[in-house]
Chains A and B, each alone.
Chain A
Amino acid sequence: MVLEIRNIRKSFGALEVLKGVDLRVEQGDVAAILGPSGSGKTTLLRCINFLEAADSGTMTFDGETFSLDRMPRKDIARLRKRTAFVFQDYNLFRNKTALQNVSEGLVIARKMPRNQALDISRRALEKVGMAGREDHYPHQLSGGQQQRVAIARAIAAGPEIIFFDEPTSALDPELTGEVLAVMRQLAEEGMTMLVVTHEMSFARTVSNKVIFMENGVVVETSSSGAFFRDPQEERSRAFLRTVRAAEMG
């Protein structure tokens, strides 16, 4: 599986948010999208999963190429069943228990027999360390627990790639670790992931690829080792300097 985006553009009114972005994610990649706030990272992920309609650009997914500005609804539905999305603010279904959050898509969208769906869902919850909380509603769970349920929901259907939009940004600092640990485990198992993140340690140690964005363009794409050791662009260096200064406190 290869996901390739070419020349994606998106404006909100007069504000051009994506100014021709390219990216490529290969099977087994953990690609981190870094960049200052407002640079268009969320918009990029949302366009890739059709939560926003891009103005132009193409996507190649597993050998098939699509025009992002005129996607037939059927293709959108088909592609979404092969991907998964983890939101910054979890977006668990508030009227469903943890278990139902995971099984809902399997039963309703994929028409999987209920018992099989529940088996898979229990295993997914177990994997993210949420065994025993199956019957809790989202409001009865901490942010970190909710996000882990959201990850269970994402992996349950066996996606070929998972998109993460700042999965730990809404969490209190002491809760980010449990979510990052789950993501690290997925990475080790070979899951293909495209992750917008502000967690430099995650980008440095878990991801193999860094895509640095600023002002709606990709400034630099490198292996993560190279990006942190020897960034090629002045703007990447400036970004890393501010990040490091912030980390020093």
Chain B
Amino acid sequence: MINEHLAAILADSFWKILLPGLTVTIPLTVIAFSLAMVIAVTAALIQFARVKILRHLCRFYIWVFRGTPLLVQLFVVFYGMPRIGIVIEPFPAAVIVFSINEGAYCAEIIRAALESVPPGQLEAGYCVGMSYLQTMRRIILPQAMRTAFPSLSNSLIAMVKDTSLAANITVVEMFRAAELINARVYEPLALYIEVGLIYLMFSTVLTKLQSMGEKRLNVYTNREE
């Protein structure tokens, strides 16, 4: 089945797909996920500390971004916003949407993790003279992030795959690159499987990193707890 012609196409396209993977998919994921973490930790802490008003704002934000499709959010920002004079380049538009969308999911993960830390930890912080903020920063948040780590890793892996949606707003990431090659050579089965395998490669590396990270974090948490 696989003749020399097809093999040549696959070998040639492999680099043409991997390259935007390294220069677009990965940077998009890394930047958006980092921003998502900042948003998520902030939103989770605001809710955990029951900050007035802001807390309702957070609930609203999470409600909207978890309740609407990512694809719709991408379209609103990239194709819709120009109607009100806001024109954003494809890559930054993708960064914005992915970080805000992911931030909403991760905020919930981190909030749940914060709530799972026994209240005695905060009280012990108070009793050694630490303030609320000092105890949050040094004791509660680190424990919560450890609890949240596996779920956050899963979100990161899901996000790598979801970046393929950015193809819809003309970001030439891996999937779009595969589409463009396919438009020239028309080998959809081979090319889409190929791009799928490259995503699989990325996810596998991340899964490996996740289990290494979990091992390190286990230093201070036994699994029986």
Contacts and interface: CB of A to CB of B under 8 A. Distances in A.
A108 B127 contact: no
A81 interface: yes
A18 to B, nearest CB: 19
B203 to A, nearest CB: 29
B129 A109 contact: yes
A137 B218 CA distance: 11
A144 B219 CA distance: 21
B130 A91 contact: no
A95 B142 contact: yes
Interface residues of A, number: 27
Interface residues of B, number: 23
Contact of A51 (B121, B126, B220): B126
A87 interface: yes
B225 interface: yes
A91 B123 contact: yes
Given A108-B138, A139-B225, A153-B128, A95 B146 contact: yes
B139 interface: yes
B143 A77 contact: no
Contacts of B142: 95
B222 interface: yes
Contact of A92 (B124, B129, B134, B221): B124
- Best-surrounded residue of B126, B129, B142, B219 (most CB of chain A within 10 A): B129
Interface string A35-65: 0000000000000011100000000000000
Interface string B121-151: 1011111111100100011001100100000
A234 to B, nearest CB: 37
Interface in B178-201: none
B134 A109 contact: yes
A229 interface: no
A84 B127 CA distance: 6
B120 A93 contact: no
Contacts of A49: 127
Nearest to B146: A95
A94 B130 contact: no
A95 B220 contact: yes
Contacts of B121: 91, 93-94
Contact of A105 (B128, B143, B220): B128
Interface in A67-86: 77, 80-81, 83-85
A50 to B, nearest CB: 8
Nearest to B123: A51
A214 interface: no
A80 B126 contact: yes
Contact of B130 (A92, A109, A139, A140): A109
Interface in B14-51: none
A136 to B, nearest CB: 10
A166 interface: no
A94 B142 CA distance: 10
B165 to A, nearest CB: 37
B225 A87 contact: no
Contacts of A93: 121, 124-125, 139
B129 A80 contact: yes
Interface string B206-225: 00000000000001111001
Contact of A87 (B120, B130, B138, B219): B120
Given A87-B124, A91-B123, 12 more contacts: A50-B126, A51-B127, A81-B129, A83-B127, A85-B127, A87-B123, A91-B118, A91-B121, A96-B220, A110-B129, A140-B222, A157-B129
14 contacts: A77-B131, A80-B126, A87-B123, A89-B120, A91-B124, A93-B125, A95-B139, A95-B221, A96-B139, A104-B130, A109-B129, A109-B134, A139-B221, A157-B129
The 9 closest A-B pairs by CB, nearest first: A105-B128, A109-B129, A91-B120, A85-B127, A91-B124, A81-B129, A139-B222, A137-B220, A109-B130
Interface of B: 118, 120-121, 123-131, 134, 138-139, 142-143, 146, 219-222, 225
